[in-house]
Amino acid sequence: MPYHGRRSGACHSCRIRKIKCDESRPACKQCSRSRRQCPGYHDRYDQNRDEKHFQKAVTSVVQYQTQMPPDLRSIRSHLDDMTLDQAALSQPQMPAEAIAPCYFHFNFITTPHQRIIRGFNEYVALFAANRSQFPQFEYVFDACAMASLSQQATDGRRLRAKALESYTQALAATSTTLWDPKQTFQDETLASVLLLALFENITAASSSLIPWFSHIEAAVRLVKGRGSKQLCSKIGSDMFVAVRTFMIIHSLTTGSSLAAGYTWCTTDSTYDDYASQCEKFCVRTTELNAHVSKLLASISRTPKDTDRVKDVIRQCNSLDQDYVRWTEAVPEDFRWETIDWQVYVPHDDYANADVFPGRVDVYADTWIAIVWTMARWSRIILSSVLVRATAWLHLPKDYRSTQEYATAARLCTETITDMIASVPYQLGYIHSSKNPSGKPRQSRDKQGDSTVQRSMAAVLLAWALNGLQNQDHVTEAQRVWIKGRLNVIGTRVGIGYGTLLAKLNIRVPSMLIRRDRLLSKLHSLDSTNSSTEDKSSTQSGNGTTTSTAEDQRSTQRQFIERRIAELLASAMGKKPEVDICTVKTLLQLPKDIGGG
């Protein structure tokens, strides 16, 4: 037998990736740095045993791909017990297209079991079993699967091209389906629209958030049209909750109102009571935020308008009290536990630090952590609304010298600290239980609750971190750390929008206060211009005087539009990497103002 040299002692992952392995045990440093689960090392004495073990893993993957069990319990056992890394490594000749669906299931679909109360995207697993019957769903499922794997695969460019091709076909098929009244409100159509939105999150194919916004708006319209009957089935109820969650994220991010009255979207008897109360608070906050954005851009300083702004402040204080009562009422198993305290970051390298100095909190499961994140983000937005109303009320006085601002700044600082303390757990760096030493453990040691390290939680967290980084009350060190976590979500977890969101340079509420004042002046100028035109049409006056007044109004309008353009430039930064339409949407500016 010819001699082929000494067999490499590297771990399986490093051998496949063709990188140098330091052969540390129990896990090599290459896998630890890249947040991968080290598959272990080859034992020459147990080669036959390992080959049988790997072959068994491959068989389970193939069976999972070819014949999907119809009931949720079987699907759960397939998903939670499957060792995808071993399956992929044992059969490198398997095409990436065959591995992609399993990779997508493992990272983006979580089913409820003893370690997690509520799952994510469970309905996708059920539709995927028979996706060949629904062309639009099959196209978008394949697109999402290949796009998610392309972040890790060696032939990622080819996979991304194929994913984009499937996405284009999915858009065409879904558009055709939406024109058919019989198929518009079917479960498969709504599931396809949600996956279209997920594809945008994963790929960030353009430097714009507008496609994701459009898909979520379409999903909300579909849910409204489906009515209360959708809550009679588990699939319908799960998709209802998913759409409601993304609707809240959309509204908190853009300041627009998609609910149009929150009663229809808070009637959900199948949902946890405490989580349902939290989402009611979130929806009411988004409604108030959208109302204030319209109000402050179109009112003048009359006694009636002053009373309307004061009423907004009263509503903000009332909603904040509802939040406090909710936090006091939740049971002990719904709360967090502080397991460690980070003292400092070596070399002040906040961008690459896993944990920010301060508390490190863990939760009973990922879903509870997400509920708390949404509630805290909504409270921060609520404080911003209060500050904007206060700034309008006390003009020309500096709003930062008011008692309302001081109170809002204190509440925001506390809430920001709470959110930052939960991020390491949600990104999978920390266990939900403590080591004997009391120190946080890395996610690679975890065996049972693998849901924390999956990607769907990172999708939801990325939007909340974006809302956090935009706050005026965030310190510069906190902002650098948050942007670093967004970049981790984009590069390591594979959620492209993480990297895109990290490039934004918006500041809230200060930029929105500037926006409110500029649009209010513009509205007043347009109103004056309209009334002047009405008078000129009924009265004959001096043509020179009219021309002079028009020139003055034109000059004033140009000045206001220049100030708006300066606001946009400040929000986009020195090297704009996000399209201007996205920034306008986030600053709640009209599309026809400021260029772009």
Nearest to residue 485, comparing CAs of 506, 505, 468?
468
Domain boundary among 247, 269, 291: 269
Q: Looking at the structure, do residues 167 and 242 belong to the same domain, yes or no?
A: yes
473 in a structural domain = no
Distances in Å between the alpha carbon of 195 and those of 77, 109, 186? 23, 12, 15
DSSP structure class, residue 116: B
187 in a structural domain = yes
What parts of the chain have a pLDDT lower than 70? 1-8, 16, 35, 41-93, 111-119, 259-272, 430-454, 529-546, 594-596
CB 216 within 8 A of CB 101: no
Domain boundary among 203, 235, 269: 269
198 in a structural domain = yes
- Quick: pLDDT tens for 520-572: 988 888 777 665 555 555 454 555 666 787 888 888 888 888 999 999 999 98
Q: Looking at the structure, do residues 26 and 143 belong to the same domain, yes or no?
A: no
CB 522 within 8 A of CB 575: no
- Residue 495: how many other CB atoms lie within 10 Å: 28
Q: Looking at the structure, do residues 219 and 110 belong to the same domain, yes or no?
A: yes
Say how many domains are in the chain: 2
Q: Looking at the structure, do residues 111 and 260 belong to the same domain, yes or no?
A: yes
With both helix axes pointing from N to C terminus, report the angle between 366-394 and 455-469 in degrees, rounded to the nearest 10: 20
- At residue 258, the pLDDT reads 74
Give the list of residues 6+ apart from residue 107 with CB closer than 8 angstroms, or none.
148, 454, 455, 456, 494
167 in a structural domain = yes
Contacts of the segment 472-478: beta carbons below 8 A, 24+ positions apart:
472/507, 472/508, 472/509, 472/510, 473/409, 473/412, 473/413, 473/416, 474/416, 477/348, 477/350, 477/356, 478/356, 478/416, 478/420
| pTM for this model (two decimals) | 0.80
Q: What is the dihedral of CA 284, 289, 290, 295, to 10 degrees?
A: 120
Output the six-digit token pair for 113: 């079991």
Q: Looking at the structure, do residues 104 and 37 belong to the same domain, yes or no?
A: no
Q: Looking at the structure, do residues 110 and 247 belong to the same domain, yes or no?
A: yes
Q: Looking at the structure, do residues 17 and 130 belong to the same domain, yes or no?
A: no
408 in a structural domain = no
436 in a structural domain = no
CATH number at residue 30: 4.10.240.10
Q: Looking at the structure, do residues 234 and 139 belong to the same domain, yes or no?
A: yes
- At residue 7, the pLDDT reads 55
Q: Looking at the structure, do residues 32 and 158 belong to the same domain, yes or no?
A: no
Segment holding 187, helix H or strand E: helix 187-203
Q: Looking at the structure, do residues 252 and 114 belong to the same domain, yes or no?
A: yes
Domain boundary among 269, 284, 310: 269
SS3 338: strand
Q: Looking at the structure, do residues 155 and 16 belong to the same domain, yes or no?
A: no
279 in a structural domain = no
Domain ranges, residue 19: 8-43
Q: Looking at the structure, do residues 14 and 142 belong to the same domain, yes or no?
A: no
190 in a structural domain = yes
- At residue 272, the pLDDT reads 65
State the Cα–Cα distance between residues 506 and 357, nearest whole angstrom.
24
Output the six-digit token pair for 94: 């398997």
